[in-house]
Amino acid sequence: MIGLGFVYWIAGLVFAAYAIASARGRRWTNALFWGLLATSFLLGDRLGDIGNGVLVLALVGTALAKLKRPTDPVVRPEMKPLGNRLFLPALVVPAFALIGTLLLRDTRWIDPKQVTLVSLAFGVIVGLALAMVWLRPRLGEPITAGLRLMDSVSWAAVMPQLLAALGGVFAAAGVGGLMGQLLGHLIPSGSLIAAVLVYGLGMALLTMAVGNAFAAFPVMMAAVGLPLLIHAHDGNPAPIAAIGMLMGFCGTLLTPMAANFNLVPTALLELRDRYAVIRAQAPTALILLGINLLFLYWLAFPR
């Protein structure tokens, strides 16, 4: 059965190719960084937990040694008479992800839980094959072109993965329960408005701190949602949970900790202001946070 192992194998090869291309350009720190990431994808399951921990420290150490930004100038597109056919290889990727997710879920060949990622990987292979046949570039050109984009994303590429690992440490250390004790003291007893505010704003702020609403939800639900909103004020659990999560998403739009959503696009779009995407999202996020507080107050409690 084709599953994550296959996808990781492809990712390992791509990152190894980035590492080799970096080394050939004498960009040694970049070569080491992408090489370590390739090692994680290819051998991660054989390294053991401590081995992977050491790999994480090595990645962070390499990032501290300053990764080089892309230097080679943007190559002017050489227009070949391909016309709008050029869109086809690019659209193969989302099309494969879409069709694969819809059609391949119940086949025996693909792990049903990973069907989207597997289809996406196949889409990349097919798209690349099409592009190679039509455009006839030098064999190494996809990697040089990809590396330029990869180097502009740089270390931010591994930040979400590292934050997920931090979430595991938080869970093991019982941070959620502690937070609950702390917040419990903040809310005047009997005040529904105060409890709604602490729960909603807490979801947004904690999400901003840890970069992920999934990590904030169990904490705020256990701390305020369950004891106060659901039990003390007889609230309806479904909207309290669902709207709480959405207020967390408002926080995600406002924080650089959510690197894959907020920092990676500024790098990919070559924006000078690192926080440009957060600034563009902020008014929408704040208005939605306010409206969701009202939704929660109006929709979740008996009148």
Partner 1 sequence: MIALAGLAVILLGFLLRVQPLLVIVLAAFVTGLGAHMAPLDILALLGKGFNTNRYVTVIYIVLPLIGLLERHGLQDRARGLIANMRGATFGKLLAVYMLFRQITAGLGLISIAGHPQTVRPLLAPMAEAAAERDGELSDERREKVRALAAGTDNIALFFGEDIFLAISSILLMKAFLEQYGIALAPLQLSVWAIPTAITAFIVHGVRLQLIERRWRREGQR
In the complex, the smallest distance separating the C-beta of residue 26 from partner 1, rounded to whole angstroms, is 21
Q: Give 11-62 as a DSSP string.
A: HHHHHHHHHHHHHHTT-HHHHHHHHHHHHHHHHHHHHHHHHHHHHHHHHHHH
| Closest C-alpha to 211, from 266, 147, 280, 162 | 162
* Cβ-based nearer residue to partner 1, 1 or 269: 269
* 279 is an interface residue for partner 1 by CB under 8 A: yes
**Candidate list 16, 28, 29, 44; residue touching partner 1; CB under 8 A:** 44
243 binds partner 1 (CB under 8 A): yes
Are the beta carbons of 215 and 170 closer than 8 angstroms? Answer: yes
Count of residues engaged in binding partner 1, rule: CB under 8 A: 139
Q: Which residues contact 4 (CB under 8 A, 6 or more apart)?
A: 111, 114, 117, 118
Token pair belonging to 112: 């049903």
| In the complex, minimum distance from the CB of residue 96 to partner 1, in angstroms, rounded to a whole number | 9
Quick note: the x/- pattern for partner 1 over 69-88, rule CB under 8 A, is: ------x-xxxx-xxx-xx-
Q: Which is nearer to partner 1, 20 or 299 (CB)?
A: 299
Regarding 159 and contact with partner 1 (CB under 8 A), the answer is yes
How many whole angstroms separate alpha carbon 196 and alpha carbon 181? 17
| Token digits of residue 197 | 């505010």
Q: Interface residues for partner 1 in 163-222 (CB under 8 A)? A: 163-170, 172-175, 178-179, 182, 209-210, 213-214, 217-218, 221
- The answer to whether 288 contacts partner 1 (rule: CB under 8 A) is yes
